[in-house]
Amino acid sequence: MSKFTVEVKVGVPQYTWGDGYHLNGAVSPDSILNTIVFPTLDKLTEGSVVADFGCGEGRIAQKAPFYSNRPYIFRGFEINPAAVEGFNRGFAHTLDRAEVADLTRLDVGQTRFDAALLWRVLHSIPKDYHQAVLAGIATTLKPGASLHVAVLSERDWKKVDLERLGLYRPGEMNDCYPVMGAALEPQAIFNWPLYFFRGGELAGLGEQVGLREVNQQPIREESGFEILRQTKPPISYDYVEFVKP
């Protein structure tokens, strides 16, 4: 049986990792989380609240103590109930908390955040919902709050391999199981749909929902899976920092 779980809300499949997938690349001092994102968040005042959309079991919050002064509190949102339980269990001694949420229909009431992260998440959600996800997140931000987003880029090795096999479909969700799933779990049979963003595409989506882009750059980060770190190049992402006007 596959270790991976698939949560489906309002007919939208959103893949989550049930095997303890973490951002192993974030332990590197060279990770953009540690060179740009955490230093930006460190400028927040004591007690500020940072939303982590697609938080998993706390993959970013677990790294923050190593590279951040951490004046802020994490509030996580994750579609996988088991991951939310893991987050809250792991951070029970802190003020950090997570809750189950579907990012395609985000509702946080009147809560507004001082900053937010959408890290390696949006490319796993069907393309038709990308603008709605960003629009929903934008409504949760206080004026002046920053939103840090990383998405898969068309420069990534998975796209290159799919293209070589004649399987790549530009501008659509692409099943990446043929180039990576079999290496992870040869006995498992399931789809692994991911979307590869074109250069400038993410920044354009943010502008459409009223966010202002202040930093945009290509980045390369290590995979969260050991076998892929050993056999494949680092993953290529587009990073954009937005600010809510």
Mean of pLDDT values over 20-32: 51
Residue 4 region, left (φ>0) first, then alpha (ψ -120 to 50), else beta?
beta
What domains sit in the chain, N to C, each tagged with a CATH number? Answer: 5-243 (3.40.50.150)
At 143, which helix (H) or strand (E)?
A: strand 141-152
φ, ψ at 20 (rounded to 5°): 80, 25
| pTM reported for the whole predicted model | 0.88
How high is the pLDDT of residue 4?
40
**Which of 172 and 25 is assigned the larger pLDDT?**
172
How high is the pLDDT of residue 188?
55
Q: Which residues pair with 218 in a beta bridge?
A: 238
- Write down the residue that tokens 């966010």 correspond to: 211
Q: Percent of the chain, pLDDT > 70?
A: 83
At 138, which helix (H) or strand (E)?
A: helix 130-138
How high is the pLDDT of residue 184?
64
DSSP 49-100: EEEEET-TTTTTTTTHHHH----SEEEEEES-HHHHHHHHHHTTTSS-EEEE
Mean of pLDDT values over 211-215: 97
pLDDT by residue (tens digit) across 54-84? 998 888 898 887 778 889 999 999 988 888 9
How high is the pLDDT of residue 139?
97
pLDDT by residue (tens digit) across 89-115? 999 999 999 999 989 889 999 999 999
CA distance 74 to 26: 17
Pairing of strands 174-175, 73-78: unpaired
